[in-house]
Amino acid sequence: MKVTVEAHPIQGLIKYHGLMDPTRRIPFHDSISICIEAMKTTTTIEIIKDLGEDEIQINDKKPQEKEKNRILTVLNELRTLSNCKDKMKIVSENSIKEGKGLGFSASGFAALGLAASKALGLSLDHITLSEIVRLGAGSATRSLAGAYALWYANKNGKSYADQIASCDSLDLSMVIVPIFSQVKTDEAHKEVLGSPLFVQRLKRIGVIVETMKRAIYLKDVAAISRLSEEDTLNLHATTMTGNDHMILWEPETLMVIKEVVAMRSEQLSAWYSIDTGPSVFINTFTRNVEKVASRIRKIGFNNIIISKVGNKPKITDKHLF
Amino acid sequence: MKVTVEAHPIQGLIKYHGLMDPTRRIPFHDSISICIEAMKTTTTIEIIKDLGEDEIQINDKKPQEKEKNRILTVLNELRTLSNCKDKMKIVSENSIKEGKGLGFSASGFAALGLAASKALGLSLDHITLSEIVRLGAGSATRSLAGAYALWYANKNGKSYADQIASCDSLDLSMVIVPIFSQVKTDEAHKEVLGSPLFVQRLKRIGVIVETMKRAIYLKDVAAISRLSEEDTLNLHATTMTGNDHMILWEPETLMVIKEVVAMRSEQLSAWYSIDTGPSVFINTFTRNVEKVASRIRKIGFNNIIISKVGNKPKITDKHLF
């Protein structure tokens, strides 16, 4: 039986950074994100008896060793639960293939986990599946929860994400500016531990997450967006003061930042947000989103995406093979 | 009598950031800088009896109100010491007029203070004059000291700078990339106090200054330059997490940073250093400096400057009027 799942990548509102347990991918602190409706990973899985090994194809390519191992960790966990050792054919496609820091590892592992669990005939509760997809990518927990999601570092001994507001409950939309980079963003989560600023981040992050939660409950789009911009700067400040002097921004990143700041000075409310990569999300009220997009196109970015907040992954019959 | 002084601007190696006493310009911590031989401010001063008010011209323009007040603070301090109330004609020129964060407020106030003190017939000891030019711009203390200079936040109740190594004692040269910006850098010193990272900076800065002092005594150019790059990232991380989300870099700043990182990966030793502005200094061994400059020209920066470490201000007879 083939199972196909579509999952949305995420934008971190309060970003996660650094893993307390890198193997089990348990973070140091809670984090909050939103799913991006206009972007998705589609993954089709079929269990094929007598297949020598798993056949995996992502964006028309075989995954590299490191990526493959992350995928096998999730698959093997599910196979153990289902008492099935059969190999699978897996084809996965992201809707956008350029740009770094767009949250596709989240949607990739959310889609993989849900599709494989269904293909294996499992009916897992949300928390168990969330804990399994987390082993592939921490943020997959939040992609799996959908909409506005809170990932708990530790809730009663478990680390998983819950949806805290539905996708249409707030007047928030975003403009996404994909930017290409050769920096290996996965490294950033390791080396941030060397930053003298990281301890300071950890001290304050609890209050920041609570402030963001409250802003979401109050449906205060401006407060959410401003807080996310602030957390962006904190995250990148912490990254660049790590051991390797890692700067994730590209010149284009700063071009977009400066244009957003200029918009604000002209009373067009918009706020930038940048995950662990150079690509920029611009959060704004839905009524502003076309104006914001047009400003960003004018400074030379033609491949931008306009999006609302997306829902949790869904099963579809549009199989990729 | 006309007095003309030439002073060199500075590059902060361990940058100063934030003022404990903004009026007297006393910083929170010690800092270390080098003078830039290839750049200078030239200032000519003449005391003119019966002049209604001071006539000041900087780079062919009258200074704005705020700048003028800073200048008058220094002049009036010196006039009080000399018991002379006469007004002055002052003409000052920077060798470069484009680019922000090039340290010209340091050379400007060092030249002004020395020229005015001489014009007034004063023979002040180094510490007293250092404390007076500090009232115009903190870094002027280091421009006045010349070469490798340490500015004490508080040494026996005084805040001034001393030369800690002569300009030719180390094999260090730099490439300067002036970059234009509209950001008011003076604001950065105020708003950094709002950064949650600033406390952390203050906790560690004593050790960092000591490490830099030791590297200078050991003539370890690589250690000096790497430490200066590290302090750059710490400074800008702290600035951008202040109340106003102030980012002092421009897209061009990141282009230069990335080229320097690329050079290092190709075994060409060079390190970037950025003061409170977007312009970039690239520190390297003197033997590398032409190669580094050529790499930076290749990515499109034609108005770059190559420099050795400069000496303290000198009196000259090349008057500007």
Cα gap A140→A300, rounded to integer Å: 32
Cα gap A41→A59, rounded to integer Å: 10
Contact A241 B233 (CB under 8 A): yes
Last residue of a domain, one of A118, A141, A168: A168
Burial class (CB in 10 A: 0-12, 13-18, 19+), A222: middle
What was the pLDDT predicted at B10?
Answer: 96
Contact B229 A241 (CB under 8 A): no
Q: Per the domain annotation, does B46 fall within a domain?
A: yes
* Chain A contact probe: residue of B184, B249, B283, B301 with most A CBs at under 10 A: B249
Last residue of a domain, one of B134, B167, B200: B167
Residues A60 and A163 in one domain: yes
pLDDT tens readout for residues A3-34: 999 999 999 999 988 889 999 999 999 999 99
What was the pLDDT predicted at B186?
Answer: 66
Contacts of B254 in chain A (CB under 8 A): 247, 249-251, 253-254
Residues B21 and B51 in one domain: yes
Name the residue facing B254 among A237, A238, A250 (closest C-beta): A250
Nearest-CA neighbor of A239 among A285, A201, A204, A191? A191
Arithmetic mean of pLDDT over chain A: 94
Contact A254 B255 (CB under 8 A): no
Chain mean position to CA A250: 20
Residues A217 and A68 in one domain: no
Q: Which domain holds residue A139?
A: 2-168
* For chain A, counts of helices (H) and of strands (E): 9, 15
Contacts of A251 in chain B (CB under 8 A): 251-252, 254-255, 258
Q: Per the domain annotation, does B313 fall within a domain?
A: no
| DSSP structure string for A38-68 | T--EEEEEEEETT-SS-EEEETTBPPPHHHH
Residues B154 and B237 in one domain: no
DSSP B173: E
Chain mean position to CA A85: 30
CATH number for position B298: 3.30.70.890
Q: Are B288 and B268 in contact (CB under 8 A)?
A: yes
Q: Which residues contact A289 (CB under 8 A, 6 or more apart)?
A: A173, A174, A175, A306
Cα gap A26→A138, rounded to integer Å: 7
Nearest residue of B to residue A256, measured between CA atoms? B251
| Element of type H or E holding B35 | strand B31-35
- Looking at the 3D structure of chain B, how many domains does it have? 2
State the SS3 of B251-301. HHHHHHHHHHHHHHHCCCCEEEECCCCCCEEEEEEHHHHHHHHHHHHHCCC
Last residue of a domain, one of B137, B167, B197: B167
* Chain A contact probe: residue of B241, B248, B264 with most A CBs at under 10 A: B241
Q: What count of residues does chain B have?
A: 321
What was the pLDDT predicted at B298?
Answer: 98
Around Cβ B260, how many Cβ atoms within 10 Å? 24
Q: Which portions of chain B are predicted below pLDDT 70? A: 184-186
Residues B27 and B153 in one domain: yes
Q: Per the domain annotation, does B288 fall within a domain?
A: yes
Predicted confidence (pLDDT) at residue A186 exceeds the cutoff of 70: no
Residues B160 and B260 in one domain: no
Q: Per the domain annotation, does A315 fall within a domain?
A: no
What was the pLDDT predicted at A190?
Answer: 73
Nearest residue of B to residue A254, measured between CA atoms? B251
Task: Name the phi and psi angles at B166, rounded to 5.
Answer: -80, 165
CATH number for position A63: 3.30.230.10
Nearest-CA neighbor of B37 among B175, B133, B218? B175
What was the pLDDT predicted at B197?
Answer: 82
| Residue B82, token pair as written in the block | 């000399």
What was the pLDDT predicted at B200?
Answer: 85
Cα gap B130→B320, rounded to integer Å: 24
What was the pLDDT predicted at A185?
Answer: 65
Nearest residue of A to residue B249, measured between CA atoms? A254
What was the pLDDT predicted at A195?
Answer: 85
Q: Per the domain annotation, does A317 fall within a domain?
A: no
CB pairs A-B closer than 8 Å = 71
Residues A95 and A147 in one domain: yes
Residues B141 and B200 in one domain: no
Burial class (CB in 10 A: 0-12, 13-18, 19+), B87: middle
Q: Kindly report the CA angle at A137 between A131 and A139, in degrees rounded to 5? A: 80
Contact B254 A254 (CB under 8 A): yes
Residues B109 and B38 in one domain: yes
Contact B236 A240 (CB under 8 A): yes
Q: Per the domain annotation, does A25 fall within a domain?
A: yes
Name the residue facing B245 among A230, A238, A245 (closest C-beta): A230
pLDDT tens readout for residues A102-136: 889 999 999 999 999 999 999 999 999 999 999 99
Around Cβ A226, how many Cβ atoms within 10 Å? 17
Q: How confident is the model at residue A97 (pLDDT cuts 50, 70, 90)?
A: confident
Distances (CA, A) of A284 to A2, A259, A272, A273, B191: 39, 14, 9, 11, 26
What was the pLDDT predicted at A128?
Answer: 98
Task: Name the phi and psi angles at A51, rounded to 5.
Answer: -75, 135
pLDDT tens readout for residues A283-306: 999 999 999 999 999 999 999 999
Kindly report the nearest CA distance between residue B302 and chain A, in angstroms: 18
pLDDT tens readout for residues B199-243: 888 998 999 999 999 999 999 999 999 999 999 999 999 999 988
Q: Look at the block and give the residue holding tokens 């090039």.
A: B102
Residues B93 and B160 in one domain: yes
Of A41 and B195, the one with more pLDDT: A41
Kindly report the nearest CA distance between residue B247 and chain A, in angstroms: 9
Q: Look at the block and give the residue holding tokens 């030439």.
A: B6
Q: Per the domain annotation, does B314 fall within a domain?
A: no
Q: Nearest 10 degrees: CA dihedral of B209, B212, B214, B216? A: -140
Nearest-CA neighbor of A7 among A103, A109, A111, A113? A111
Read off the pLDDT of each residue in A178-196 and give the average, rounded to a whole number: 77
Residues B127 and B204 in one domain: no
Q: b/e for B172-191, b at 16 or more Cβ within 10 A?
A: bbbbbbbbebebebeebbee
pLDDT tens readout for residues B161-208: 999 999 999 999 999 999 988 776 667 777 777 888 888 889 989 999
Residues B66 and B99 in one domain: yes
Cα gap B244→A174, rounded to integer Å: 22
Three-state DSSP state, A22: coil
Q: How confident is the model at residue A181 (pLDDT cuts 50, 70, 90)?
A: confident
Which residues from A are below 8 Å from B when comparing CB atoms? 196-197, 199-201, 204, 229-230, 233-234, 236-238, 240-241, 245, 247, 249-255, 257-258, 261
Read off the pLDDT of each residue in A92-102 and give the average, rounded to a whole number: 85
Category of B121 on φ-ψ map: left (φ > 0), alpha (ψ -120 to 50) or beta: left
| Residue B91, token pair as written in the block | 């003409």
Read off the pLDDT of each residue in A30-43 and give the average, rounded to a whole number: 97
- Give the N- to C-terminal CA distance of chain B in Å, as an integer: 12
Q: Per the domain annotation, does B318 fall within a domain?
A: no
